[in-house]
Structure 1
Amino acid sequence: MLFALSCKTETEDDGPVVKCDQTTLIDQSGYPSAPIGNATVSQAVVSGNCLKISYSSSGCDGSSWQVQLMTDGTVDLSTIPATRKLKLVLLSQETCTAVINKEKSFDISNLQVSGAQSVALNIENNGQVVVYQY
């Protein structure tokens, strides 16, 4: 069963505004040791300033999961476009073996690179790279 927690859209005078579920955390010191757990990212899609991630892990129902999209803030300028590494951090105390699928969106506007129009987002959980154009 797929739980859809997709982006929400509201309207302002200049058009629709997409609201993401969470913000992306930039944490240089915490990033290297942040646990991925057994989270598997199956799909990542950019929609406006949101990165929608479909992921799965084992658990009972996933209701107690704590999920965060994290980066250390560094930018690899040797690639075109520039690249940022991300990981989906999943904290779970659930001991059941069912595979639970979920979707969450993250505001990635704080990942924009000054002077650029796009950045490649390399998601460590599955090695997928998506390009965020802004």
Structure 2
Amino acid sequence: MFSKLPKYLILCLCFAFLFVNSKCSDDDEVDGNCGPAAVIDYGYYNAAESNNYDMVSANITGNCLNVEIAASGCDGSNWSLVLLDSGDIAESNPVQRDLKLVFSNLEDCQAFVSQTRVFDLANLQTPEDHSVILNIDGLDESLTYIY
């Protein structure tokens, strides 16, 4: 079928296919934000249980929290990761918030896979401040979110 098409047309079709596949999925950037927003819910924060994972790294770029986690699994395509905020704001300078990641892993494979996920932190801003310290459960050091 493709043997009769000119090579440049086949090449253009391949690039178009790659471009379409590189677009954001519904789980990626939502309305120009960097990912799903942190969920602020005291009850959910206290009741949530998580599967085991290792926190490889975490950093903040703009309003985005980038976390790399690792766990056993096949390829991580069925993992679920939610960033939870307790809703409590410690009155310090700068203010502090407590967060944790809730990880769900239904994959039953022996491989050890790592994956980076991105969360939108904008809803954690406090109007009277320009920064907040994020204490993320499982992370050795707090992160300072400057906005």
Q: Which has the higher strand share?
A: 1
- In the other structure, the counterpart of 2:52 is 38
Q: Name the amino acid aligned to 2:141.
A: Q
1:68 — aligned with what? Answer: 82
Partners of 1:18 and 1:48 within 8 A in 2: no
Q: Whose relative contact order is higher, 1 or 2, with alpha carbons under 8 Å and at least 6 apart?
A: 1
Q: What is the match of residue 100 of structure 1?
A: 113
Q: Could you tell me which residue of structure 1 aligns to residue 17 of structure 2? A: none
- Contact kept? 1:40, 1:56, Cα under 8 Å: yes
- CA distance in 2: counterparts of 1:110 and 1:46, whole angstroms: 14
SS state at 1:30 partner: helix
| CA distance, structure 2, for counterparts of residue 124 and residue 105 of structure 1 | 16
SS at match of 1:110: helix
Displacement of 1:18 in angstroms is 6.2
CA distance in 1, matches of 2:115, 2:72: 11
Residues 42 and 55, structure 1, Cα contact 8 Å, conserved in 2: yes
5+ residue gaps, structure 1, are 10-16
| Match 2:104 to one of 66, 71, 91 | 91
> Aligned to 2:87, what secondary structure does the other structure show?
coil
Give the SS at the match of 1:69: strand
Separation (CA, whole Å) in 1 of partners of 2:45 and 2:34: 22
Aligned length: 120
Q: For residue 51 of structure 1, give the secondary structure of its aligned residue in structure 2.
A: strand
Gaps of 5+ in 2: 1-23
Contact 1:122–1:128 under 8 Å retained in 2 = yes
CA distance in structure 1 between the partners assigned to 2:110 and 2:46 by the alignment:
27
CA distance 1:110–1:103, change in 2 (3 Å) = same
Larger radius of gyration: 2
Paired letter, 2:82 = Q
Equivalent residue, structure 2, for 1:28: 42
Which has the higher mean CA deviation after the structures are superposed, 102-111 or 90-99?
A: 90-99
1:80 partner amino acid: N
Q: Distance in 1 between matches of 2:140 and 2:100?
A: 10
Q: Distance in 1 between matches of 2:69 and 2:53?
A: 7
